[in-house]
Amino acid sequence: MADDPQSSVDSMADPYFEPIGPGAFPPLPYDKDIDNDGDDGRPGRDARRFVAAGFVAAGRAAVADVLGTVRTLRFWAVAVAGLCTTWAVVAALVLLPGTAGDSTEWVPPPVLAYVMASSLLPATAALVAMHWGMRYWAPAAAGGDPERRIFAAVLAAALRGLVFAVLILTTLLLQAAAAGEPGTAAAISAGVAVIEGALFGGMGVAVAALGWRAGRTRVAGWALALFLVAGSVAAAAFLVPAVRTEEPVTVALNIERAPDGSTVAYECSAVSVGVAEVYRTERVMWLPAASPSVLFVMLAGDAGTGAGLIRSLSAAFQEAADGTQVLCVNGEPRSRDAQRMPMAAVGLLLQAAVAGALLVGAHAAADRRRRSA
C-alpha cells in the first residue's frame, strides 16, 4: 500500500557502505605510490617505474645503436681521420724548421710532440663528437617520447666519444713511450676527451633535434664547436686591449710562488713605483676556459706533468685569470687564502651550461612538434 509506513522504513533499514582499501577505486593515471602492497598491476599504477623502464629501454637502444655504428666504415673513417689530422698538425709544428720557435732548444722534439698532441686531441674529440651528435641523431632517437629520444641520442654520442678516447689514449701512450715520459698526460688527455665527447655530443644532438634544415643544422653546429674550441681563445686575445688600464703600483714584498711558478701571495709596501700599464685579464679569462685544450692544460698543470712545459702554460693561464702579472696594483696585497679562479671548473660549467640550454630547447621544440602533429 502506498500509505503503508513499513515500506518507507524498509527503504531505510539497510544502510549502504562503500568499499574502501586496495582495489576499491580505479587507479589514477599518475599514481606514484610505488610501495603500495595493493598494486594490482594495471597500467598507470606506477608512473615512476614506468618512466625508469622507459629510460632503461632508451639506454639499451643507445648501446645497440653504438654497437651498430662502430661496425661501419664511416665511423672509423671519421675517427682515424681526426687522429691522423691532429698528429699531422703536431708533426708540422715540431719538425718543420721555425714552426716551433725556440722551444726545441729546451724541450726534445719527442716530448714536445707528446705535449702538443695531448693538448690538441681533446679539441679533436670535441669536434668529432659534435659531428657524431648531429650525424647520428635520427637513428639513435627512434621511438618513444621526445625526452627519452634525446636521452638515447646523447648517451649514444657519449659512448662513441668513449671509443674515440680509447684511440687517443693508445696513440698518446705510444708517443709517451717513445719520448720516455710518463703516461700521466695521456691519461688526462683521454679523460678530457671522454668529457668533451659527452658534452659536445650532447650539443650536436641538441642542434640536430631543434628541427632545422640539414644545412642550417650543420652550419650552427660547426660554428658553435669551432667557437668553443678555438674562437673562445681568439676572442679573449682580441679583448685584451679593451681591458688595458693605467694603475698606480707599489713595491711588492715577501712574494710566494707555487711549484708551477704562479704567484700565490705577496705583501705591498707604501713605496710607489709610479703608474704602470696593467691588463685586467681576469675580466676575460673565463672565455678561453671553455676550450678543451685550455681545460687539459689546467688539469695537467695541476697534476705536475709535461716536463715543465705544461706547468709553465698552466701557470701563465692562472696568473692571467688571477690578474697577478703586475703585483701590488693600487697597493692591494694578496694573501695565501685568497680565491683563485678555478679555470678548469669554469670551463666545464660553461660547456655544460651551453649543452644543457641547447638540450632543454631541443626537448621543448620536439614536444611542440609532437603536440602539433
- DSSP line for 92-126: HHHHSTTTTTTGGGTS-HHHHHHHHHHHHHHHHHH
Averaged pLDDT, 65-74: 86
Share of the chain above pLDDT 70, in %: 77
Q: Is the pLDDT assigned to residue 16 strictly greater than 50? A: no
The confidence score (pLDDT) of residue 262 equals 77
Averaged pLDDT, 354-359: 94
H helix or E strand, kind and range, residue 51? helix 47-69
Give residue 138's pLDDT band: very low, low, confident or very high (50, 70, 90): low
Question: Cα–Cα distances in Å, from 60 out to 56, 71, 99, 208, 291?
Answer: 6, 17, 48, 21, 32
CA–CA distance, 368 with 332 (Å, rounded to integer)? 54
State the residue for C-alpha cell 681526426: 82
CB 116 within 8 A of CB 90: yes
Averaged pLDDT, 82-86: 96
CB 111 within 8 A of CB 307: yes
Averaged pLDDT, 190-212: 92
Q: Is the pLDDT assigned to residue 98 strictly greater than 50? A: yes
CA–CA distance, 47 with 44 (Å, rounded to integer)? 6
- DSSP class of residue 366? H
Closest by CA position to 296, among listed 123, 39, 172, 107 = 123
Averaged pLDDT, 215-240: 93
Averaged pLDDT, 76-94: 94
CB 307 within 8 A of CB 181: yes
CA–CA distance, 151 with 59 (Å, rounded to integer)? 8
pLDDT digits (tens, 9 = 90+) for 142-177: 555 555 678 888 888 999 999 999 999 999 999 999
Axis-axis angle for helices 184-209, 214-226 (nearest 10): 150
The confidence score (pLDDT) of residue 8 equals 45
Q: Is the pLDDT assigned to residue 100 strictly greater than 70? A: no
Closest by CA position to 224, among listed 291, 299, 138 = 291
Angle at 214 between CA 210 and CA 220, to 5 degrees: 65
CB 132 within 8 A of CB 204: yes
Q: What is the model's pTM?
A: 0.80
The confidence score (pLDDT) of residue 219 equals 92
**Measured in Å, how far apart are the chain's first and last C-alpha atoms?**
64
Closest by CA position to 145, among listed 78, 79, 58 = 58
- Name residue 279's beta-bridge partners: 244
CA–CA distance, 248 with 332 (Å, rounded to integer)? 10
> Which of 26-40, 52-66, 243-257 is least confident?
26-40
The confidence score (pLDDT) of residue 315 equals 87
> Strands 244-257 and 263-279: what pairing?
antiparallel
Q: Is the pLDDT assigned to residue 11 strictly greater than 50? A: no
Which grid coordinates are listed for 234? 681568439
3-state secondary structure of 17: coil
Q: Which residues contact 86 (CB under 8 A, 6 or more apart)?
A: 117, 120, 121, 124
Share of the chain above pLDDT 90, in %: 43
Judging by beta carbons within 10 Å of its beta carbon (0-12, 13-18, 19+), is residue 161 exposed, middle or buried?
A: buried
**Bigger pLDDT: 16 vs 263:** 263
Question: Cα–Cα distances in Å, from 82 out to 78, 85, 291?
Answer: 6, 5, 17
pLDDT digits (tens, 9 = 90+) for 263-293: 889 999 888 888 888 899 989 999 999 999 9
CA–CA distance, 85 with 153 (Å, rounded to integer)? 27
Which grid coordinates are listed for 337? 687564502
State the residue for C-alpha cell 693605467: 246
Which grid coordinates are listed for 15? 544502510
